[in-house]
Structure formats: structure tokens, C-alpha cells
Chains A and B, each alone.
Chain A
């Protein structure tokens, strides 16, 4: 690399890291500086550049943009949520790998146990790594958005802090139980991971001749590629809602609006799953019947309702009521107790 090329490359490495609008001026100024240093101190190009130091450090000192994704204010919560989600993913990866391994055994022989052992670790590694990467991605994006929004808000002039600006301690009835959010996050993570890695685990099994055998899966695995994204959207929305609750810590307008929005998305997703997509395995009842040797279901048998639509109506009603209840509680507690907290 010639001296001129080295200088051009250095200037490029600095300017590409500074905001667009400042680039041209910094480029000119830096070019002049390097020339001055070479002429004034009789240094070679490489000596001058060595004196100027790492271009990334130089550019960083212009400090015109945040060089972090999640700042100290959100960092603790971020790490905390990440831990919970990863534990959830870990548990579900172990469970699904174990169940799939046992299902794959063809007898109680030693070789089968060795097979189980090998498959268990293979599957565990595969599902845990991909699940963990996905989870880290989702949680990071949510927190980065929170951070970004806060930064934007902070650009507005702030009042000088006085003790009178301290928010009052939230009303006990407005405080959100951290444990509830943790349980929800763990449940959502486990459920999402199971849907992702082992949807066939949701079904009927039988134990015969020393091995488990899958009889039928409740979900329509053939159409799973269309169903899974809607499922994950619903669960992901729920996860985002819970993270907002966890970070806020008490009922306030942010929690109220996010609960309303998340529940609307979840109800719409559930409606799509139950009424718009072929969610259930249409042959589930028939497959059970065949294996169990049942001629016909007796009246009132729960399986006789399969494919009748009543099953869907019941489940959808259950979800709808759950969402309405959660929204109702969030709206009531925010309006009744949340206003006093100062955060509302």
C-alpha cells in the first residue's frame, strides 16, 4: 500500500464511522491535519497515522451518536429477562429432547439406551442453540426499542430535578407482582420452544413392548409452516407485553395501552388460528379410534366433538375471556390506582 493509499484508507475508516452530514468536513480537516503533521514534523505517513491512533477510537471521540444498544438504565432488566427466557428455553429443550429420545427407543436393550443418550444430546444442542439465539434476538430488539424511545424522549428539555419531582411510592394495589410476570415469561418461552421444536409432542402416545409410540398429533403438522408463524406472533406479543410489565413494575398508562394492544393482537391471532387456518389434525379422533379399537364414540365422549367446531368455539371463548379479563384489570387498576404513581 502506497503512503497516499494508506492515508486515504485511514481517512475513510474514520469518516465512515461519523454521521453522514459531518463526513465531508471531517474528511477535509483530517486530510489537512495529516499533511501538516508530515510537513511540520517531518514524519512518514505511517508514523503520522500511528500518532493519530486507531481510526475507530478517533471516530468514537466525535461521539455524535450512541455507541450502545441498551444503556445502563435498561441493562439490569435486560439481563434478567434474558436469563428467565433462556432458562425457559433450556427446560423445554431438555424436555422435548428427552421425550423425542424415549419415543425413538425400540426396546430396553443397552444399545437403545446409548442411542437415546446420543440423540438426546444431538437434539438438545440443536434446539437449545437455535432457540437461545432466537430468544436473545427478540429480547434484545424489544429492549433496544425501549432504549431508543427513551433516548428520543430525553432529547426534549428536562426540568431541573428537585425532590418535589419524586414520584410517590406506587399504591400497593397498582404494583405488578414480579413473580406473575416471571411465570408468564417462562410459560410463554417453554410453550413457544415446544411448538417450534416438537409440535408432535402435543398428541396421544401409547407404551407398548418397551417403547413409546406416537398415535396422533392434535395439530395439523402438514400445514404447520402456515400455522407456526401465527402461533409465534401471538406468543411473541404476549412476551413483549410481559417485558413491559416487568420493566415498569406497576400499572400505568404504558402498561394499559400495551396490554390493550397485545391482547387485541392475540385475540386476532387466535381467531385466525381457530377459524382461518387448518390448526387441528382432522384425523386425530379417527387415528385414536383405530389404534384403541373403538368402533364408535359413545355419546358425550369428548372426542366425538372433534371437527365439530364446538371445540374451537369453546377454546376461543376461553382465550377471549382471558384477554378481556387481563385488559379489564389493567384498565381498572391503571385508572383507579395507577394515576397516583406519577408514572401514569
Chain B
């Protein structure tokens, strides 16, 4: 029971940071699976069935643009931040920094009181 609750709280916590994680890695073109691997290597794993719909949504919102690369053996859809996406990303980073400072204050120097 406690484990389930903790799981659901953690997933809620992660969900809030997902967009920032994805946007941070799309300053240059990447296809979905490459992004999954990069995020995993950096210790922020994301479910594939969450990432792909998210990429589509961010594209619809104008934060990302995409292009099909048909030069390689198999066609892949590459995503990249748009100029509008850049601006939003910068703003999000600023907010994140303020928030994390505030959180550090709240949780004390070592992360707890």
C-alpha cells in the first residue's frame, strides 16, 4: 500500500519535469528512440509510451518541429526545438532554477530538516 502510494507520488513528481527534460535535449535534432536512450543515460528514464505521444503534443503546440529523414536505411522522424520552443524553454529553465532554489531552502541544506 505504502509502496503504491509512493510510486504514484513519484510518478506525479516526475511528470511535472518531463517536458523540461525533453525540451532540454532537443536543441539539436533527435529521433524518439535516441532521445529515450539519452535520457536514460543521464539518469532520467522515461516510458516510451509516454514520450512518443508527448513529442507529438509538443509539436502540435508549436514548441517542436519535425522532419522525416529518409536517407538512412529506415525512415525516422527527427524532432527539434522551434524558435518559439527555445523561448519557452529558456523561460522554463529560469522558473526551474528559482523553484529548485526555493525547494533547497524549504528542504534544508541536505535535502531535509
Contacts and interface: CB of A to CB of B under 8 A. Distances in A.
B77 interface: yes
**Band of interface residues on B:** 10 to 19
Nearest to A53: B49
A25 B37 contact: no
B74 A61 contact: no
Interface stretch (B6-14, B50-58, B87-95, B102-110): B50-58
Contact of B77 (A29, A35, A58): A29
Contacts of A108: none
A37 B33 contact: yes
Contacts of A22: 56
A338 B44 CA distance: 56
Contact of A52 (B48, B56, B57, B68): B48
A97 B8 CA distance: 52
B32 A40 contact: no
A51 interface: yes
A35 B76 CA distance: 11
Contacts of A25: 77
A118 interface: no
Nearest to A31: B74
A29 B52 contact: yes
B105 to A, nearest CB: 31
A33 interface: yes
B49 A57 contact: yes
Interface in B33-61: 33, 37, 47-50, 52-54, 56-57
A322 interface: no
Contact of A28 (B33, B47, B50, B75): B75
B53 A63 contact: yes
Interface in A292-308: none
Contacts of A28: 68, 75, 77
B75 A58 contact: no
Contact of B33 (A26, A36, A58, A63): A36
A32 interface: yes
Given A33-B33, A33-B48, A40-B33, A62 B75 contact: no
Contacts, number: 45
The interface residues of chain A, by DSSP majority, are classed as: helix
B48 A51 contact: yes
Contacts of B47: 53
Nearest to A22: B56
A23 to B, nearest CB: 12
Interface in B64-80: 68, 74-77
Interface in A23-60: 25-26, 28-30, 32-33, 35-37, 40, 51-53, 57-58
Contacts of A36: 33
B32 to A, nearest CB: 6
A58 to B, nearest CB: 4
Given A36-B33, A37-B33, A40-B33, A52 B74 contact: no
Contacts of A26: 52, 56
Interface centre among B37, B56, B77 (most CB of A within 10 A): B56
A29 B52 CA distance: 9
Given A51-B48, A52-B48, A35 B74 contact: yes
A61 B53 contact: yes
A223 B49 CA distance: 59
Contact of B32 (A29, A57, A58, A62): A29
Interface in A243-260: none
User: Which 3 pairs across A and B sit closest by C-beta, in order of nearness?
Assistant: A36-B33, A61-B53, A58-B49
Interface of B: 31-33, 37, 47-50, 52-54, 56-57, 68, 74-77
21 contacts: A22-B56, A28-B68, A28-B75, A28-B77, A29-B77, A32-B31, A32-B32, A32-B75, A32-B76, A32-B77, A33-B32, A40-B37, A51-B48, A53-B47, A57-B49, A58-B52, A61-B53, A61-B54, A62-B56, A63-B53, A63-B57
